[in-house]
Each structure stands twice: as C-alpha cells, then as structure tokens.
Amino acid sequence: MPEKNLGRVTISHKGLWANNTRYEKLDVVSYDSSSYIAIASNIDVSPLDISKWKVFVPGFSNILDNTLAGADGATGATGPRGPTGDKGATGDEGLRGSQGLQGPRGQRGDVFEVNNDVTNFGNVATGRLFNQKYQLENIGGVLTLHKIMHYSD
C-alpha cells in the first residue's frame, strides 16, 4: 500500500500571539479575547488578517489551556499572619524640632560670699560656700577653689 504524508494533522496551542514569531498551519493563539487558528504559515501577521488566520473560538482566549475564565468569585477569608520580617535599614535623620518652652526658675544655690573684712591679695579672695571656708584663686583666667582646713575668723 502506498504511503502518503498527511503533514501536520493536529492543532498546537502556542499561547498569546507575539510579534516576530513564526506560526505554522494549525497553530492556535490567543489574541484580543478570542482564539485563532493559522490556516497558513506566517511570521508577524496579526490574527486579524483573514488570509492567514481564522477565528477558532470567539470570546475565549484560553480555550486550549482549560483555563476558561468565569465570573470572579467572592473574596476569600484573610489568611494567618506571616512571620516577622528582617529589620529594615535605619532611615535618614529627621528634621530638628522646634525649641521647647523655658522651664521654671530653679532654687537659688549657695553663693561664694567674700568676707568683707578679708583683704583681697591680687588674684586671691577668701569666703564661704556651703557653710565652709574656701579660698578662690584666679591663675591665668582659671578660677580655682581651695577649701581652707584651718581658718580663723
């Protein structure tokens, strides 16, 4: 019995139609919400060109994927909370805030009181601070306070 080459006899779904793609006779593509079947080999020919394509199933773009789209279903329940993610990077420093209000005036502290009857010898003065006797000395602009251990009034 003689053999005869029938060529391709089954359809082949190629997914979404794409530019610059070669399609053979019996290739099926999805395009503009419908499925089209190639009736001749072509490259970069839109499925809307009736010399190369025929409508295979109008209004069903994914007929061969068994993914016919129906109406959207209701929103499902919220899933469980996921694990805590890694700590993110430290953000930029914020703007400086405005100056706060001035606080209340504090209590008066002890004051170094210079004895009126003690002679001031240049950079040294004696007096009382915290009810103790001290000597205040100015050396080169630096004030130094010395507690006097033995001092008689």
Q: Look at residues 125, 133, 137, 129 and name the one whose alpha carbon lies nearest to residue 152.
A: 133
Would you say 35 and 64 are in contact if contact means Cβ atoms under 8 Å apart? yes
Task: Give me the residue spans of the domains in the chain.
Answer: 12-65, 113-147
Separation of alpha carbons 136 and 128, rounded Å: 10
- Architecture of the domain defined by 12-65: Ribbon (2.10)
pLDDT reported for residue 119:
45
Residues of the chain with pLDDT under 70: 60-70, 108-131, 134-135, 146, 149-153
Summarised one tens digit per residue, pLDDT across range 7-21 is 777 899 999 999 999
